[in-house]
Structure 1
Amino acid sequence: MRYLLLLSFTLFLACGTETPPPAPPANPTAGFDTLLQNYYAQRLELYPLEATMQGDSRYDDRLPNFLSAAHERALRDFFTTTKNELLATDRATLDDTQKVSYDVLLWECDINLAGLEFAEELLPLDQFDSPHLMIGQLASGQSAQPFKTVEDYDNWLQRLDAFVALMDTARLNMQRGVAQGYVLPRPLTEKLLPQLEAMTAEPLENHLYYGPIRNLPADFSDAERERLTAAYQSVISERIIPMFRNLSTYVATEYLPASRSSSGIDALPNGADYYKYLIKVYTTTDLTADEIHQLGLQEVARLSGEMEKVKAQVGFTGSLKAFFDHVRTKPELMPFTKPEEVIANFEAIHARMQPQLSKLFDRVPKTPFEVRRTEAFRENSASAEYNPGSRDGSRPGIFYVPIPDVTTYNVVSDEDLFLHEAIPGHHYQFSLTQENEALPDFRRTLWYSAYGEGWALYCESLGSELGLYTDPYQYFGMLSAEMHRAIRLVVDTGIHSKGWSREKAIQYSLDHEAESEASIVAEIERYMAIPGQALSYKIGQLKIRELRSKAETQLGDNFDIKEFHNLVLSPGCVPLAVLETMVEEWMAK
Structure 2
Amino acid sequence: MPKKNYALLLAITVFAAACSGPDKKTGTSAGTTDSLHQLVQHYYDEKMEFFPMDATMNGEHQFDGLLQIDISDRFRSRLDSFYTHYQTALQSLDTAALNENDLISYAMLQREVSIGKESFRYPDNLMPIQQFWGLTLTLPQFGSGTSAQPFKNKADYEKFIQRMKSFSEWSDTAIANMRRGMSLGYVIPKALAVKVVPQLADLSKKDTTNVFYTPLRMLPAGLDTAEQRSLRAAYTAAIEEYALPAYSRLHEFFVKEYIPRTRTSSGIDALPQGKDWYGYLIRYWTTTDLTPDEIFATGEREVARIRREMDSVKNSTGFTGDLPAFFNFIRTDKQFKIFTTPSQILDTFRGIEEKIMPSVKELYGHLPKTKFEVRQTEAFRAASASAEYMPGAADGSRPGVFYVPILDAKTFNYTGMECLFLHEAIPGHHFQTSIQQENDSLPKFRRFTWIGSYGEGYALYCEGLGKELGLYTNPYSYFGHLSDEIHRAIRLVVDVGMHAKGWTREQAIKYMMDNEPLSEQDAVAEIERYMAIPGQALSYKIGELKIRELRSKYSQSTGFSIKDFHDELLKDGCVPLNVLEEKMARRFK
> Which TM-score bucket, shorter chain as reference?
over 0.9
The answer for the alignment partner of 1:217 in structure 2 is 220
Shift of 1:371: 0.2
Question: Is 1:66 matched with 2:70?
Answer: yes
The answer for the alignment partner of 2:9 in structure 1 is none
The answer for the alignment partner of 1:494 in structure 2 is 497
In 1, Cα distance between equivalents of 2:461 and 2:161:
42
2:109 paired residue among 87, 105, 108? 105
The answer for the alignment partner of 1:331 in structure 2 is 334
In 2, Cα distance between equivalents of 1:465 and 1:534:
26
Amino acid at match of 2:183: A
Amino acid at match of 1:570: K
Amino acid at match of 2:236: Q
Amino acid at match of 1:582: K
The answer for the alignment partner of 2:415 in structure 1 is 412
Question: Is 1:232 matched with 2:219?
Answer: no
Q: After the TM superposition, which residues 562-581 of structure 1 pair with which residues of structure 2 at under 5 Å, given as runs?
A: 562-581=563-582
The answer for the alignment partner of 2:136 in structure 1 is 132
Amino acid at match of 2:117: L
2:446 paired residue among 436, 443, 448? 443
The answer for the alignment partner of 2:79 in structure 1 is 75
In 2, Cα distance between equivalents of 1:116 and 1:350:
43
The answer for the alignment partner of 2:17 in structure 1 is none
The answer for the alignment partner of 2:40 in structure 1 is 36
Amino acid at match of 1:342: I
**Per-residue CA distance 1:152-171 (angstroms, 9 max, x = gap):** 11111111111111111111
Moved more, 240-249 or 445-454: 240-249
Moved more, 235-244 or 89-98: 235-244
1:45 paired residue among 45, 49, 53? 49
Shift of 1:406: 1.0
Amino acid at match of 1:540: G
Q: After the TM superposition, which residues 143-292 of structure 1 pair with which residues of structure 2 at under 5 Å, given as runs?
A: 143-203=147-207, 205-292=208-295
Shift of 1:238: 2.2
Question: Is 1:300 matched with 2:334?
Answer: no
Is 2:206–2:240's contact at 8 Å kept on the other side of the alignment? no
Shift of 1:393: 0.9
Structure 2 counterpart SS, 1:317: coil
The answer for the alignment partner of 2:13 in structure 1 is none
Amino acid at match of 1:477: G
In 2, Cα distance between equivalents of 1:130 and 1:548:
35
Q: Give the count of matched residue pairs.
A: 564
1:539 paired residue among 521, 542, 546? 542
Structure 2 counterpart SS, 1:386: strand
**Per-residue CA distance 1:468-498 (angstroms, 9 max, x = gap):** 1101111001000000000000000000000
The answer for the alignment partner of 1:15 in structure 2 is none
**Per-residue CA distance 1:511-560 (angstroms, 9 max, x = gap):** 0001111111100000000000000000000000001101112x1x4111
Amino acid at match of 1:289: P
Is 2:164–2:239's contact at 8 Å kept on the other side of the alignment? no
Amino acid at match of 1:344: D
In 2, Cα distance between equivalents of 1:201 and 1:33:
48
The answer for the alignment partner of 2:92 in structure 1 is 88
Structure 1 counterpart SS, 2:545: helix
1:460 paired residue among 459, 463, 475? 463
The answer for the alignment partner of 1:18 in structure 2 is none
In 2, Cα distance between equivalents of 1:436 and 1:277:
31
Amino acid at match of 1:529: A
**Per-residue CA distance 1:126-177 (angstroms, 9 max, x = gap):** 0001211000101111111000011111111111111111111111111111
TM norm structure 1: 0.94
Q: After the TM superposition, which residues 465-484 of structure 1 pair with which residues of structure 2 at under 5 Å, given as runs?
A: 465-484=468-487
In 2, Cα distance between equivalents of 1:339 and 1:511:
29
**Per-residue CA distance 1:387-438 (angstroms, 9 max, x = gap):** 0001101100000000011111111100000000000000000000011121
Structure 2 counterpart SS, 1:335: coil
The answer for the alignment partner of 2:583 in structure 1 is 582
Bigger Cα Rg: 1
Shift of 1:277: 0.3
Shift of 1:218: 1.7
In 1, Cα distance between equivalents of 2:86 and 2:47:
11
Amino acid at match of 1:489: L
Shift of 1:119: 0.5
Shift of 1:223: 2.6
Amino acid at match of 2:308: G
Shift of 1:217: 2.1
Which sections of structure 2, spanning at least 5 residues, go unmatched? 1-22
The answer for the alignment partner of 1:319 in structure 2 is 322
Amino acid at match of 1:132: T
In 2, Cα distance between equivalents of 1:587 and 1:241:
56
Which sections of structure 1, spanning at least 5 residues, go unmatched? 1-21
Change (3 A) 1:23 1:547: closer
Amino acid at match of 1:119: P
Is 2:165–2:243's contact at 8 Å kept on the other side of the alignment? no
Amino acid at match of 2:588: M
In 2, Cα distance between equivalents of 1:366 and 1:546:
29
The answer for the alignment partner of 2:395 in structure 1 is 392
Question: Is 1:513 matched with 2:516?
Answer: yes
Shift of 1:587: 2.1
The answer for the alignment partner of 1:423 in structure 2 is 426
Structure 2 counterpart SS, 1:141: coil
In 1, Cα distance between equivalents of 2:97 and 2:504:
52
In 2, Cα distance between equivalents of 1:181 and 1:86:
37
Amino acid at match of 2:318: G
Question: Is 1:365 matched with 2:364?
Answer: no
**Per-residue CA distance 1:219-247 (angstroms, 9 max, x = gap):** 22223211211112212222222222222
In 2, Cα distance between equivalents of 1:434 and 1:198:
34
Moved more, 209-218 or 270-279: 209-218
The answer for the alignment partner of 2:404 in structure 1 is 401
Amino acid at match of 1:513: E
Shift of 1:200: 2.1
Structure 2 counterpart SS, 1:371: strand
Is 2:167–2:246's contact at 8 Å kept on the other side of the alignment? no
2:359 paired residue among 343, 356, 361? 356
In 2, Cα distance between equivalents of 1:145 and 1:345:
29
In 1, Cα distance between equivalents of 2:408 and 2:165:
35
Amino acid at match of 1:214: R
Shift of 1:206: 2.7
The answer for the alignment partner of 1:5 in structure 2 is none
Shift of 1:354: 1.1
Moved more, 494-503 or 156-165: 156-165
In 1, Cα distance between equivalents of 2:227 and 2:522:
45
The answer for the alignment partner of 1:10 in structure 2 is none
In 1, Cα distance between equivalents of 2:326 and 2:375:
31
